[in-house]
Structure 1
Amino acid sequence: MAPSAASGEKTYRVRALWRTLQGEGFWAGRPAVFVRLVACNMWSGYEADRARDAERNGADCPLWCDTAFTKEGSVRLTASDLADAVVATGDGVTFCVLTGGEPLLQADAALIRALHARGVTVAVETNGTLSLAGAFGDEADWPDWIVCSPKLAAARLEIETCDELKLVVPDYRPEAYRPLAQRVRERSLAGPLLWLQPEDGPRFEAAARLAVDLALADPRWRVSVQGHKALGVD
C-alpha cells in the first residue's frame, strides 16, 4: 500500500491489509479482506505497557493479546484510497472486515460510504467500549455486520447493538452479559448469534471444555472455533 498524498483529507492509519478467510463466527469460511487499523483503547500494543494498561483499564486482554496494531510499519490512507486498496486486494472478494486494535477509534461514516460505493459489504470487530452512533453517526452509515467481543464488564460498554456477541472464555461468561445479549439483532436468523470462543494459548484445552459445557447448559450460546488457525491461514 502506498500512502495517500497530503491533501488535508482525513486519513486512516492502516497496519495491515490482506485477503484471507473469515475464521470465526457466522461468516466462518467466507473469503474476506481484512483491514487492521492502528490503535486500541485497552492496550498501547507495546510489551512494556502490558501490566500498566491492564491495571489502568481494568481489563486482562493487555496481558495476553498477541495482535500487532501499533503504528510502526503502518501507512496513512484516505477513505477513497483505502476502499480502492480493499477492492484491489480482494480481487473479486467483496466482504471486508475492519479490525484492530479497536477499529472504532478510526473507522467512520466516510469510510463505510467509500466501501459501499464500491460494492463492498463491511463487517467490524469491536470490543464494545465505543458507541456506534458516536463513530458512524446515522444508522444508515453503520457497518453491515457488527461483531462485539467485550473486554470489559457489561456496564462499561457503550455499544448499542450488534449482530454477533462473542465471549472469550474462561474469563468472560454468559451470565455477565445478559443485557447485551438481549440487544443482539436477530437478522431473521434462528435466534441471536451468541458465541463462546475458547481463549487461545496454554489455557485452550480447559477453556474449550468450559465453552462446550456452557453452551450445553444454555443452548442459545454456540461455541466458536477459530477455523482459520486449523486451516493454517492468517
Structure 2
Amino acid sequence: MNMIEKEYMVNEIFYSLQGEGRWAGRAAIFIRFSGCNLKCPFCDTDFASYKKMKAKDILKELLEYSQCNFVVLTGGEPTLQVTEDFVDMLHANGYYVAMETNATREVPRNINWITASPKKAYVSGGSVWLTKADEVKVVYDAVQEPDAFGISAKEYYIQPCDTGDKEMNDYIIKKCVEWVKNHPKWKLSLQQQKILKVR
C-alpha cells in the first residue's frame, strides 16, 4: 500500500511548545501516533483512542498552523507507521521533521532530528537497535542507572520520571541534579509542558 492510500492511526495532532530536550521552548506541531511495541510503566499516552487518517488529511491539519514549520513525530512509537515517503511529503511542504523514538527500530533516513529515548532499563523487549541519534533522552527513576545503551549523539539528557507522587518526584529531581553534576556530559531535561500546564 502506498503512502497516499495508507491509513495512519493518529492519537492526536496539536500545536504547543516542545517541552523536553534540545528543542525545549520551541513552538511545534505534534503528531502523536497511536500504538507502541513497548509497555512502559510510566507511559502517559492513552492508545485506546485514535482516528484513522490518510496522509492528505494529516497534512491538512498541519496547514492550520501555518505560522509553524517544526513538526514532531511522537507516540507511542512512530517508527511503527512512519515511512520515508511520509517524511518526504512533510519536507515538500516546508517542514523540519523531528522524531521521538524508543530506539528499538530503524528510523527513516530522512528525519531531520532524532531523539532516542531508550527504555531497555524498564521493560522487556526494549533492546536498542539505533546506534546514532541527534540526542539521547533517558528517563531516570533514581533506581536504574542512566544509560545511553551505546547510542552516539550530539546531546545527552536525563529526565526525571514523573511518578505522580510529589515527594518521590522531588527526590528524583534531586538525584538527577547530582547525576548531572557528576557526569557533565549529560544535561537536565524537565518536562516544561507539565510545569507550564500546557498540552
Q: What TM-score, normalized by structure 2, do the two folds share?
A: 0.88
Equivalents in 1 of 2:189, 2:69: separation in Å? Answer: 23
1:148 corresponds to 2:116? yes
1:196 corresponds to 2:171? no
Which residue of structure 2 lines up, in the alignment, with residue 157 of structure 1? Answer: 128
The SS at the match of 2:181 is helix
| Pick aligned residue for 1:66 from 44, 52, 58 | 44
Equivalents in 2 of 1:223, 1:8: separation in Å? Answer: 40
One-letter amino acid of the structure 2 residue matched with residue 198 of structure 1: P
Structure 1 stretches of at least 4 aligned residues deviating more than 4 Å after TM superposition: none
Equivalents in 2 of 1:9, 1:163: separation in Å? Answer: 31
Question: What are the superposed Cα offsets for residues 163-192 of structure 1, whole Å, 9 maximum, x if unpaired?
Answer: 110111125433x33622xx11xxxxxxx2
Q: What TM-score, normalized by structure 1, do the two folds share?
A: 0.75
> What is the deviation of 1:66?
2.3
Which residue of structure 2 lines up, in the alignment, with residue 18 of structure 1? Answer: 14
> What is the deviation of 1:86?
1.3
> What is the deviation of 1:131?
1.5
| Pick aligned residue for 1:127 from 102, 116, 120 | 102
Instruction: Mark the CA change 1:178 to 1:17 in structure 2 (over 3 Å): closer, same or farther.
Output: closer
> What is the deviation of 1:81?
2.5
One-letter amino acid of the structure 1 residue matched with residue 56 of structure 2: S
Which residue of structure 1 lines up, in the alignment, with residue 88 of structure 2? Answer: 113
Equivalents in 2 of 1:98, 1:197: separation in Å? Answer: 19
> What is the deviation of 1:69?
2.3
Equivalents in 1 of 2:148, 2:10: separation in Å? Answer: 31
Which residue of structure 1 lines up, in the alignment, with residue 145 of structure 2? Answer: 173
Match runs of 1:83-122 below 5 Å: 83-88=59-64, 90-122=65-97
Which residue of structure 1 lines up, in the alignment, with residue 35 of structure 2? Answer: 39
Q: RMSD over aligned Cα, in angstroms?
A: 2.0
Instruction: Mark the CA change 1:178 to 1:219 in structure 2 (over 3 Å): closer, same or farther.
Output: farther
Q: Which runs of 5+ in 1 are unaligned?
A: 1-6, 44-60, 185-191
Number of residue pairs matched by the alignment: 190
